[in-house]
Amino acid sequence: LDTTQHPHFVTASHLLKTVYGYDSFRGQQADIINDVLNGQDCFVLMPTGGGKSLCYQIPALVRPGTAIVVSPLIALMQDQVSALKANGVNADYYNSSLDFQAAEQVLIRLHNGELDMLYVSPERLLNQSFLQQLQTLPISLFAIDEAHCISQWGHDFRPEYHQMGSLRQWFAQVPFIALTATADFATRQDILDKLHLNEPKVHISSFDRPNIQYTVLEKNQPAQQLEKFLVKHPNQSGVIYALSRKRVEEVAEQLKAKGFKAKAYHAGLPAEIRQIVHQQFIRDEIDIVVATVAFGMGIDKPNVRFVVHYDLPKNIEGYYQETGRAGRDGLPSEALLLFGMQDVSTAKYFIEQISNEQQKMLENFKLSSMINFAEALTCRRNVLLNYFGEPSHKACGNCDVCLNPPQLFDGKIAAQKVLSCVYRLNQGFGLKHVIEVLRGADTDRIRQLNHQTLSTYGIGKEYSAHEWQSIVRQLIHLGFLQQDIQDYQKLKFTALSGDLLKGKIELQLAFAKKELKTSSLSSNS
Ligand code: ADP
Ligand code: ZN
């Protein structure tokens, strides 16, 4: 911290030790806490387990008044409040799980100024009479947990969060801190807009998990591919994710038959069985859990050495969260994805059934990002981090692409052609049109728009449309271009585009892979 350190920051460090028993802040915690103490609005993007709670709990203890913490899940509220109470903090919650009397008691404590923190569900908070009461009380801060719930672009939109956009104006003097673990670029912008945060300080923690090695295999004989992988991990803990309960059961049976200590876990099993499997896994009595995504919430097992995706996850958020269960202890771990065409078709089929057009578009975008990850010719970690708004073009050395690189070529000129073309098109068109202009295609659309007169028309005849597609995807993965999900996936510049256009950056690109059947499926712009 520099000279802008808040005078009460010393108190914050002291509380860290006395209330929580920790010696030092982690990652960006100290900076965030300092900003909130200074009365500034903050947006915090931090992976699960990163330590978001302290970022608002400590300022809540330092600043006078009661902190209002908005949280969507009653169970989580209860956990947080019991943990705080156990540490001697005056905290409580106010939600629909309380009966009339208990709710009254909480309100009395609130009015008497006895609470440092009050966890509230959005429904209760937005109740007019409650809001009016709050305005008469000293409020230290508002913390909006799971802030992505406010965005329709996020994966967990909650209508009751939608109303929270008006909160900011009601409490002009109170700092707001919005926190989430999952937000791609579009969701992030949307959260900032919707909450009307006031010149927020944006704190984005790294999503990198350097000890996890990412590998994608083309799925052809999944049972054999899985077995071959598992024999390289004898007696190690791991999770295998499959999409359906039926598949989970099948794979678990196959593994047991082969002598692996494996069990199935999915929401269709009785609660007692699930509990037993969970415990056996935690206690290392079994090595492998074959599971649907139902398995994972609340698993805090440090020595998970591998996570396998037997089927394609629906989106990168899910993939990241699931693979993130490996290697919590920081030791080398592996994430293997079996990627097959059949899975892509299945996923497409389910998306087609969605009736809400906007939702359908969003799911399609998320699926194509997932497919692009699986088909990536650039470092997979870059693809992941770029997706979470952390662009990097330095290869990681710990993924299958880095360890077994495709043949590379000097891609600077090609990249500049793409960027110039995007520029000439005023960042108003998608991948397909940009490539048609580059290749000088003679289509009705181009003639209607008079794009054959652009200076970049036909400057890219040296590559096929398929090769250009591969180049543009790589530029997206490397953070030199982005597809604007809120604007028909039009190609837009990023903060890095300018330097590449001006020739300040050298760029190696990979030759396109042989044209696979997937290409037509995964490019829908
Ligand atoms: P998140 O909400 O980001 O998922 P939590 O706030 O629940 O993360 O924190 C995850 C874990 O890390 C908790 O067990 C928490 O007590 C612990 N933790 C948080 N900050 C620190 C710190 N500065 N030092 C040590 N442990 C910490
Ligand atoms: Zn890599």
**Burial classification of residue 256, based on how many CB atoms lie within 10 Å of its CB (0-12 exposed, 13-18 middle, 19 or more buried):** middle
Helix (H) or strand (E) holding 457: none
pTM score, two decimals?
0.74
**What's the confidence (pLDDT) of residue 281?**
95
Residue 362, both tokens: 């969003």
* Residues facing 372 on adjacent strands: none
**What's the confidence (pLDDT) of residue 184?**
76
Angle between helices 128-135 and 100-111 (to 10 degrees): 20
**441 in the Ramachandran plot: left (φ > 0), alpha (ψ -120 to 50) or beta?**
beta
Q: Pocket around ligand 1: residues whose beta carbon is below 6 Å from it?
A: 22, 25-26, 29, 46, 48-54
| Structural contact between residues 43 and 197, judged by C-beta atoms closer than 8 angstroms | yes
Residue 439, both tokens: 């290749």
By residue count, the chain amounts to 525
**What's the confidence (pLDDT) of residue 289?**
97
The CA 333 to ligand 2 mean position distance, Å, reads 14
ipTM of the prediction: 0.98
Instruction: Give the DSSP letter of residue 399.
Output: B
Residue 476, both tokens: 């997206």
Residue nearest to atom 12 of ligand 1 (CA): 51
Query: How many angstroms separate the CA atoms of 192 and 439, rounded?
Result: 39
**Burial classification of residue 499, based on how many CB atoms lie within 10 Å of its CB (0-12 exposed, 13-18 middle, 19 or more buried):** exposed
- Where do the DSSP E strands lie in 377-510? 408-410, 481-484, 490-493, 508-510
The CA 480 to ligand 2 mean position distance, Å, reads 17
The CA 136 to ligand 1 mean position distance, Å, reads 33
**What's the confidence (pLDDT) of residue 283?**
94
The CA 479 to ligand 2 mean position distance, Å, reads 15
**What's the confidence (pLDDT) of residue 480?**
92
**What's the confidence (pLDDT) of residue 473?**
87
Residue nearest to atom 9 of ligand 1 (CA): 51
| Structural contact between residues 216 and 57, judged by C-beta atoms closer than 8 angstroms | no
**What's the confidence (pLDDT) of residue 519?**
40
DSSP secondary structure, 146-204, as one string: TGGGG-TTSSS--HHHHGGGGHHHHTTTS-EEEEES---HHHHHHHHHHHT-SSPEEEE
Question: Splitting the chain (525 residues) into consecutive groups of 10 residues, what average pLDDT does each group show?
Answer: 68 94 93 96 89 96 97 86 95 94 96 97 93 96 94 75 87 95 81 93 92 94 96 97 96 97 96 94 96 79 95 92 90 96 89 89 90 92 89 90 92 96 96 96 96 96 93 89 84 93 91 59 39
Q: Nearest Cα to 248, choosing from 291, 308, 312, 310? A: 291
DSSP secondary structure, 308-368, as one string: EESS--SSHHHHHHHHTTS-TTSS-EEEEEEE-HHHHHHHHHHHHT---HHHHHHHHHHHH
**What's the confidence (pLDDT) of residue 182?**
79
Half-sphere exposure at residue 90, Cβ-oriented, CA atoms within 13 angstroms:
15
Given ligand 1 and candidates 17, 46, 54, which is best to mutate, with the most ligand atoms within 8 Å of its CB?
Answer: 54
Who's near 24: CB < 8 A, 6+ residues apart?
16
* 379: number of Cβ within 10 Å: 26
